[in-house]
Amino acid sequence: MMIRVSYGTAIAMGLVKAKMFAKPTTAYLMTYHEGRCRNNCAFCPQARESWADLKKLSRITWPAFDVEQVIERLPEGGFARICLQTVDYPGLVSDVLKLLDQFQPLGLPVSVSITPVDKEALEEFKSRGVDYIGVGLDAASERIYPEIKDSLYSWDEMWCFTADVIDVFGEGKALVHLIIGLGETDREAVETIAKAYSMGAWVSLFAFTPIRGTRLESAEPPSLKRYRKIQVAHYLIKEGLAGPKDFEFDEKGSLVGFGMDADELASVLPPEIFATHGCPGCNRPYYNERPKKEPYNFPESPGREYVRRVIDSIL
Ligand code: SF4
């Protein structure tokens, strides 16, 4: 059986010899499938109609290795967790179960990002060491969802799946992935974030990254300023400090105020909110960003003084 390993993870465990910009704290792995995914998400190199390199997911390359070889080398990476990404194809659940069985002797907690599966499958995952499930909603608005996702699963089905995950794994264990920059307005994005937290899910933010060979290859990524606004709004919603009703929007639905002045914001925002927000032990380095450019999500907290700089730039 083969498995894909993110380039950084492969370097960290010594499967590939190359220079690393930031060491991943989680082992990022992906199911191996000869063909493309059944779904046709507009941003995704794995999509049914994409002509991108199948070794790609976001801007990361995922070389394939034998599972046994990966299991043998994995302890060398000193990882805190395994994060298994999946592509959707018939037989996926049985492949995931086989992989989870192989991971078990390593004794690491496992996160699985997967398209909707039934509760029975979720229970099976849980009994094999899975503690978090990534829900690839991706589109942060119901309006753009059908065009962007072109998937077997509707907007409503994705939310039902999120509820099932919470039923099986508990509050905070469903991580709804949202990609900022797919055509949603700020208002739609913050309302979707609020919806997720109101039902007991968490949100993991990503920045849209154009990849050659995908339907959105020529689209622009979001500006850093817009992404920072969404990160700030996300934190305020998550902590119950403010919500969409407290925020101010212009006529296009863009965020122009958070219902707090700069000093109030500075007193409540920690710098960690600009770092990767995922499962415990996840730093996902350079998933959306090029090394040497200011990252959308820092692999570690950027420090206290950065908060003031962001506030000055977004207010
Ligand atoms: S379901 Fe996931 S892997 Fe499949 S096309 Fe969509 S984003 Fe890509």
Give 246 Cα–ligand 1 centroid separation in angstroms: 34
**Span 277-306, average pLDDT:** 78
**Span 153-175, average pLDDT:** 98
- Cα distances from 65 to residues 6, 107, 194, in angstroms, run 11, 21, 40
Taking the C-alpha atoms of residue 109 and residue 124, their distance in angstroms, rounded to an integer, is: 14
Q: In one letter, which amino acid is 141?
A: S
Per residue in 236-247, pLDDT tens?
999 999 999 999
> Is residue 287's pLDDT more than 70?
no
Q: Which of 88, 153, 155, 208 to mutate to test the pocket of ligand 1 (most atoms within 8 A of CB)?
A: 88
Provide the pLDDT for residue 289.
61
**Span 169-182, average pLDDT:** 97
Q: Which of 50, 62, 87, 287 to mutate to test the pocket of ligand 1 (most atoms within 8 A of CB)?
A: 87
Q: For 65, phi and psi rounded to 5 degrees? A: -135, 165
Ligand 1, atom nearest to 44 Cα: 8
Q: CB-side exposure of 169: number of CA atoms within 13 Å?
A: 31
For 251, the 3-state DSSP assignment is: coil
When computed from its CA atoms, the radius of gyration of the chain, rounded to whole angstroms, is 19
Are the C-beta atoms of residues 162 and 135 closer than 8 Å to each other? yes
Give 179 Cα–ligand 1 centroid separation in angstroms: 13
> Is residue 67's pLDDT more than 80?
yes
Supply the residue whose CA is at minimum distance from atom 6 of ligand 1.
41
Tell me the helix, strand and coil percentages in the chain, rounded to 5: 35, 15, 45
Residues linked to residue 270 through DSSP beta bridges, in sequence order: none
Within 6 Å (CB) of ligand 1, which residues are found? 37, 39, 41, 44, 46-47, 87-88, 115, 136, 151
Q: Is 56 left (phi over 0), alpha (psi -120 to 50) or beta?
A: beta
Ligand 1, atom nearest to 40 Cα: 5
Supply the residue whose CA is at minimum distance from atom 1 of ligand 1.
39
- Check residues 92 and 23 and name the one with the higher pLDDT: 92
86: tokens are: 């999946």
Give 214 Cα–ligand 1 centroid separation in angstroms: 11
**Span 64-76, average pLDDT:** 96
Give 187 Cα–ligand 1 centroid separation in angstroms: 25
Taking the C-alpha atoms of residue 136 and residue 261, their distance in angstroms, rounded to an integer, is: 34
**If pLDDT is split at 50, 70 and 90, which confidence band does 13 have?**
very high
Give 279 Cα–ligand 1 centroid separation in angstroms: 20
**Span 160-167, average pLDDT:** 98
- Which uninterrupted H or E stretch holds 64? strand 64-66
123: tokens are: 């229970």
Taking the C-alpha atoms of residue 45 and residue 38, their distance in angstroms, rounded to an integer, is: 12
Are the C-beta atoms of residues 304 and 273 closer than 8 Å to each other? no
Instruction: Note if the pTM is more than 0.75.
Output: yes
Residues linked to residue 202 through DSSP beta bridges, in sequence order: 175
Q: Which domains does the chain have, with CATH numbers?
A: 2-314 (3.20.20.70)
Give 87 Cα–ligand 1 centroid separation in angstroms: 6
Give 88 Cα–ligand 1 centroid separation in angstroms: 7
**Span 58-81, average pLDDT:** 93
